[in-house]
Amino acid sequence: MSNSNPPPGTSDVFPEEIPLWHRLEDSAREVFPLYGYGEMRTPEFEYTEVFERGLGNETEVVQKEMYTFKDRGGRSLTLRPEGTAGIVRALSGTDVMNGIEKRVYYLGPMFRGERPAAGRRRQFHQVGVENAGRIAPEIDAECIAMLLHYLEKIGITGSTLLLNTRGTLEDRPPAENALREYFGKDIETMCDDCKDRLNRNVWRILDCKQEQCQKVIEAAPDVVSLFSPETQKFFAEVCEILNRLGIKYEIAPRLVRGLDYYVHTVFEVTHPGLGAQNALAGGGRYELYLPGSKKPVIGVGFAAGLERLLMAQEALELAPPENLIPPVFLVGLGGNARRLNMKLAGDIRRAGIPAMAEVEDKSMKAQLRAANRINANFVLIRGDEEIDKGIVVAKDMNAGTQEELPESEVIKWMLPKIIKKC
RNA sequence: GUGGUUGUAGCUCAGUUGGUUAGAGCGCCUGGUUGUGGCCCAGGAGGUCGGGGGUUCAAAUCCCCUCAAUCACCCCA
């Protein structure tokens, strides 16, 4: 019903779906450390300037998608719309500025005030990595390899890796001029957004999807050829290393990406069957400026959207993870039996087996139905008769058989059957 | 932020040109078995028809507004 809805663009994740999330999170915690990356946690909000300066004032994210508010001290704070700026803000206090490499990954919610659509939420979740402090084509290539390793780990196949270079800050002006000159001639035929972008951010015109703009964009100058020889060499090396690693990619000359901090290598992984928002993950090399600092933090990283990874897994019909240990249900007939069962349930749990004991005065039939509903493999039944005899009835739900056991034997009875299952 | 589509039971959905007490399947509860689940049978609970206003003798149905979901634009993970 409508009144149980959370705010637009946010979702509740119920326990039934949590294993799917754990699979993504556990896999990240498994794969990234293999490359020397450690988990890092930064605040979910930052000073607004961290994002304004870090992502670029002209970006759409900063201009119209941030959740910004003033705290009681009058500080302007913003719910993080992405992960890199906060991580880099924290790392800037370390010796990354002296060329010492830091390898970190993070996991958590991000916030963007957009209109929700398929694969787009206002609170969404990312897993990302940052390699900060050093620059080398090898690092970029390994970062991409690590992303693909992660996707492989979580069973996502059939994705496409798109690759491009944004050049350095010094490379941009000549290329920008060429683009501005070229698009300037036909700007009247292009969409309103592009008209605006011509002066504000010409690069964004390159990935405009409007049909009338596409015709003009197709014949646009090849900006990469205008970049410096060093920049072109850097990109060629990244490609060459990827070739050697056996990683397939597509060069996407119009891949620009929406954050201003990118330089050199940029990449995106797309997947069919995600709808209009088809990017599973994206990233690249960056030079990120923090407020009050003249020197940028350099690094390379990526972020993947957990909701989109889930969508891809669903499109691939990946089987959900299974519970390894089947639960036990304790049927109790009468208050005395139920209290004894609570004690026994505690012992069973301490043996590592999930146990649920009935707490209400319900019929045998109702209690067994409940056991069936939670897919209990074993049921322990106790009533006055059993209490008098000093035993419990242990029932194997799959076999349909049952036997009488002293309470102290119950765990010993179950364990071998459980181990056999796993 | 702009547009399209959709809102009826916990879930998936019927509901005729406006017509009397709003239905089905699944799920849930109880019984058929004095203390034995799944299958079957019988019964039962559960609905401000998203919300508000309007038209009408009469609105789930028509009109307006609003909220929400969803998809697309846009943006990006």
Give the closest residue to A126 by CA, choosing from A301, A330, A321: A301
How far in angstroms lies nucleotide B22's C1' from the CA of residue A2? 21
d(C-alpha A102, C-alpha A90), whole Å? 11
Closest CA to B67 C1' — which residue? A2
| Helix or strand holding residue A265 (H, E) | strand A262-270
Does the pLDDT of residue A66 top 80, yes or no?
A: yes
What CA–CA distance (Å, rounded) separates A410 from A382? 12
| Contact call for residues A134 and A98 (beta carbons, < 8 A) | no
* Residues belonging to chain A: 422
- Whether residue A422 has pLDDT greater than 60: no
Dihedral, A164, A199, A117, A4 alpha carbons, nearest 10: 130
Section A32-50 average pLDDT: 98
Question: What confidence score (pLDDT) does residue A62 get?
Answer: 94
pLDDT beyond 60 at A332? yes
Q: Which pLDDT belongs to residue A29?
A: 98
Q: pLDDT at position A307, please?
A: 96
- What digits encode the pLDDT tens for the residues A8-24? 999 999 998 999 999 99
Out of A125-134, A282-291, A378-387, A413-422, least confident range: A413-422
pLDDT at A194: 85
User: pLDDT value at position A217?
Assistant: 87
Mean pLDDT of A381-404: 94
What percent of chain A shows pLDDT beyond 90? 80
Q: Please tell me the predicted confidence (pLDDT) of residue A70.
A: 94
Strand B atom within 7 Å of A274 CB: no
Nucleotide nearest to A208 (CA to C1'): B74
Could you tell me the pLDDT band of residue A174, with boundaries at 50, 70 and 90? Answer: very high
As given in the structure block, the two tokens for residue A203 are 């690069």
Chain A residues 114 to 143 whose Cβ lies within 7 Å of strand B are: 114-121, 124, 126
DSSP A3-44: GG--STT-----TTTHHHHHHHHHHHHHHGGGGT-EE----S
Give residue-wise pLDDT tens across range A84-134: 999 999 999 999 999 999 999 999 999 999 999 999 999 999 999 999 999
What is the SS3 assignment for A248? coil
Neighbours of A388 (CB within 10 A): 8
For the residues A402-411, what does the mean pLDDT come to? Answer: 95
Among the listed residues A302, A350, A349, A369, the one whose alpha carbon sits nearest the alpha carbon of residue A103: A302
- Cα separation of A331 and A51, whole Å? 57
- Give, in degrees to the nearest 5, the angle at Cα A287 between A283 and A291: 115
A369 touches strand B (CB under 7 A): yes
Q: How confident is the model at residue A233 (pLDDT cuts 50, 70, 90)?
A: very high
pLDDT at A81 over 50: yes
For the whole model, what pTM was predicted? 0.93
Q: Could you give the C-alpha distances from A401 to A212, A373, A378, A404, in angstroms and in order?
A: 72, 18, 10, 11
A110-CA/B76-C1' distance, Å: 12
User: How crowded is the C-beta side of A392, counted as CA atoms within 13 Å?
Assistant: 26
Tell whether the model's pLDDT for residue A413 goes beyond 60.
yes
Mean per-residue pLDDT for A204-223?
A: 85
Is the C-beta atom of A194 closer than 7 angstroms to strand B?
A: no
Exposed e or buried b for every residue in A77-101, given b needs 16+ CB within 10 A? bbbbbbbbbbbbbbbbeeebbeeee
* Proximity of residue A404 CB to strand B below 7 A: no
Tell me, what's the pLDDT at A51? 97
- Band (pLDDT 50/70/90 cuts) for residue A2 is very low
Mean pLDDT of chain A: 93
Which residues sit opposite A48 in a β-bridge? none
pLDDT of residue A258: 87
Helix (H) or strand (E) holding A412: helix A410-421
- For nucleotide B31, the protein residue with its alpha carbon nearest to C1' is A365
Round to whole Å and give the CA distance between A128 and A28: 9
pLDDT the model gives residue A320: 87
Of A65-69, A194-198, A230-234, minimum mean pLDDT range? A194-198
Higher local confidence (pLDDT), A311 or A417: A311
Asked whether strand B has any atom less than 7 Å from the CB of A80, the reply is no
In tens, the pLDDT along A251-293 reads 998 898 889 999 999 999 999 978 888 999 999 999 999 999 9
Q: Which nucleotide is nearest to A363 (CA to C1')?
A: B35
The predicted structure's pLDDT at residue A420 = 63
Strand partners of residue A270: A160, A279
- Of the pLDDT bands very low, low, confident and very high (cuts 50, 70, 90), residue A1 is very low
**Mean pLDDT, residues A200-209 taken together:** 85
pLDDT higher than 70, residue A298: yes
